[in-house]
Amino acid sequence: MPESVPLPHPVTGAPFASPVPPGTGWPDDVATHDTPVARTATRVQRLAKGAVGQAELDARISVCRACPRLVAWREEVAVSKRAAFVDQPYWGRPVPAFGPVDAPVLVVGLAPAAHGANRTGRNFTGDRSGDWLYGALHRAGYASQPGSRAAGDGLELDGVRIIAPVRCAPPQNKPTTQEKRTCAPWLDADLARSAPHVRSIMCLGSIGWDTTIAGVRHAGWEVPRPKPAFGHGARATLRTPQGREVALVGCYHVSQQNTFTGKLTETMLDEVIASL
């Protein structure tokens, strides 16, 4: 049940309902009222294949409703909210990739965080994980700002693109196998556009690693056999359908569980990013 009282966006101050209706002016929202909505896995496949440009693909992703459990969860979170954000609208929709489509570096996580990207509409935005990731990308020259507060905050990426293979926030951060499979055509379409440009793919955590390998295999890329094992700093060589070599690079996830405990330090993160 959408929230009926519009609340001001934290950057622009414009009022929005939660979840945010497409075409109502949310920063960087490329969807409109007429963007076609996928309600089944088959429709995801058709709409992903038929999207002509990146904006059309992103728009179609951002209104997808093909996974009933995830649609219900993302919208329920958008209305119930976390106490710290009760005065803000929540995006509550699937989150498209962020960064230039011709970027030589891809960063792959898993899925939007319930109160981060599901609130702000941009990957790794509005939470501590994002502070770590964008802080490191800024130190390496890939991000114009060290933080990522909200869509519309002026952050720009140069040379890096950030993708979640599952575009909707899942309960307990755990999408089902079927949900990953249903969402895969959106990733296929993104990878097809990235393939001519990409040099390295940094996977955050073992689930991102495994999902990326499954995704590139599904998209027709060559992956070494046996399957390369995830580790912090692990590397493997992939080959695109056009025959280009791409480095697959593992990195511990920037979750608070890893950064608070010291399992992942800034130095460790900086070293992996410097190797991309």
- C-beta of 180: minimal distance to ligand SF4 in Å? 8
Cβ closer to ligand SF4: 145 or 176?
A: 176
- C-beta of 176: minimal distance to ligand SF4 in Å? 10
Phi, psi of 13 (to 5 degrees): 80, -5
- C-beta of 168: minimal distance to ligand SF4 in Å? 3
Question: Which residues neighbour 113 within 8 Å (Cβ) at sequence distance 6 or greater?
Answer: 124, 127, 129, 169, 173
Question: Rule CB under 6 A: which residues touch ligand SF4?
Answer: 44, 61, 64-67, 70-71, 94, 166-168, 179, 182-183, 186
Angle at 165 between CA 187 and CA 233, to 5 degrees: 115
Question: Which residues neighbour 219 within 8 Å (Cβ) at sequence distance 6 or greater?
Answer: 187, 188, 191, 192, 195, 241
Q: What is the largest CA-CA distance in the chain?
A: 54
Q: How far apart are CA 15 and CA 204, in angstroms?
A: 34
Cβ closer to ligand SF4: 44 or 272?
A: 44
Cβ closer to ligand SF4: 94 or 135?
A: 94
Pairing assessment for the beta strands 160-163 and 235-239 based on DSSP bridges? unpaired
- C-beta of 104: minimal distance to ligand SF4 in Å? 26
Q: Which residues pair with 106 in a beta bridge?
A: 161, 201
Q: What is the DSSP letter of 246?
A: E
Cβ closer to ligand SF4: 62 or 129?
A: 62
- C-beta of 259: minimal distance to ligand SF4 in Å? 26
Q: Are 74 and 166 in contact (CB under 8 A)?
A: no
Cβ closer to ligand SF4: 137 or 168?
A: 168
Cβ closer to ligand SF4: 65 or 197?
A: 65
Q: Are 198 and 143 in contact (CB under 8 A)?
A: no
Angle at 60 between CA 181 and CA 8, to 5 degrees: 115
Cβ closer to ligand SF4: 65 or 81?
A: 65
- C-beta of 32: minimal distance to ligand SF4 in Å? 17
Instruction: Give the residue from 269, 271, 274, 275 showing the smallest Cα distance to 124.
Output: 269
- C-beta of 254: minimal distance to ligand SF4 in Å? 21
